[in-house]
Amino acid sequence: MEFLDAVSLRERHTFGMDVRARRFAVLSTLDDLPAIRSEAEHSGRVLWLGGGSNLLFTRDFDGLVVQIALKGIRTLADDGKDVIVEAAAGENWHDFVRHTLARGWHGLENLSLIPGTVGASPVQNIGAYGVEVKDCISEVVCADLDDNGRLLVLGNADCRFGYRDSIFKRQAAGRLLVVAVRFKLSRQAAALTGYGDIRAELARMGRAGTPSALDISDAVMHIRAAKLPDPAHLGNAGSFFKNPVLPAADARALIAHNPELPHYAAGTGKTKLAAGWLIEQAGFKGLREGDAGVHARQALVLVNYGHASGKEIQALAQRIQEAVHTRYGVALEAEPVIL
C-alpha cells in the first residue's frame, strides 16, 4: 500500500477546512493492517477516518490519517422473517440504508440521509426520529489493534451503547477498529412515525395511511433536506451538540419556567431536552461571524460558509455553551470529535 506525505483533508471531512495530514494512507483490505500498524509506530498519532462527518479539525494532523475504504455487503442469514446483513465499514451509510429498503428489509428507514459510513454508525450510535442504530445492530466485527489486528465479534450488549455513545468511543477508543457491522432487519413492517414532522410529511406525500419503509425513508429525506444544509454545498458536521439529558426532577423545574421547551422521556427518571430550542432562545440561530455561523433553519448546526477555521467554529461553539449554561443552567456537549 502507499503512504503519502502532507495530504489535504479538505475533501475528506464535511466541515471542509483545508487542513493537512502529515502522513496518509487508504485501508481497502484488512491485509494492509500490518503495514499500517508498522507505519503507525513511526508516525505516532493515528486517526482512522470514515466519512469525516463527525470531526472538527482545528489544526493540521501531526500523524497518520487512515481512510477506511473497506467495501462489501452480504446476507448472512434469512429465515423469511428476519435477515442478518453485514456491511463493511467503508460503505456509505445512506446508500446502505436504501440498499436494505429496496430489498424489503425494515428497520433503518428513520436513519436515512445521515452522512457518514457504516463503520462510524455504532461508534456514535447514530439516531434520528425515535430510532438509534443500536436497535438494529446484532454484532460488530472489530480488529484488535493491540493484538496484531486479530478479529473480534462483539454482540450488541458488549458494545455498551448509550446516547450517542459506545465502547468504541470511550473504553476501546484507539484499540478496537470497526471493520464491519451486522444488522438484524425484519421483512415485516413496523413503522415508527411518532414524530410530528414525519406524520406531516407523510400526509403531504399522500402516504399517511399505511406507509411503507420506503415511504418513511423518503419522508425523512425530504425533512432533512429542508432543514439541514448539504455538506457538499455548505460545510457542517450535522448536529453539533447533543440534546442534553437531565434528571427528571431537574427537567421539570426548568420546564416549569419554560413551558415551551420541547422535551422527551429518556428512560427511567431522565428527560431529554431540545438543544436546538435552547440555542435559538439564547439568540444564536442564524448568527454569522465571518465565515463561521449557526444555520438559519436549524440552530443545532454550526456551519463553515467557506473559509472559517476550525478554531473559529470551536470558539463559536464555546460561546453558545456559555450562553446556554448562563441562561438555563444546562451544559451542552459537543457531538463532533474536536482535533
Instruction: List the catalytic residues.
Output: 164, 239, 335
- Hey, is 40 helix, strand or coil? helix
Cβ count near 89 (within 10 Å): 28
Of the chain, the end-to-end C-alpha distance in Å amounts to 26
Q: What's the CA gap between 101 and 321, in Å, rounded?
A: 38
The DSSP line for 114-148 is --SBTTHHHHHT-EETTEEGGGTEEEEEEEETTTT
Q: What's the CA gap between 271 and 247, in Å, rounded?
A: 6
DSSP 162: B
- Hey, is 305 helix, strand or coil? coil
Enumerate the H helices of the chain as residue ranges: 33-43, 93-102, 120-124, 196-205, 213-227, 248-257, 275-281, 310-328
Q: What's the CA gap between 220 and 202, in Å, rounded?
A: 9
Q: Are 49 and 13 in contact (CB under 8 A)?
A: yes
Residue whose entry in the numeric block shows the C-alpha cell 472559517:
308
Kindly give the interhelix angle for 213-227 and 93-102, rounded to the nearest 10 degrees: 150
Nearest to 106 by CA among 141, 74, 135: 135
**What is the C-alpha R_g of the chain?**
20
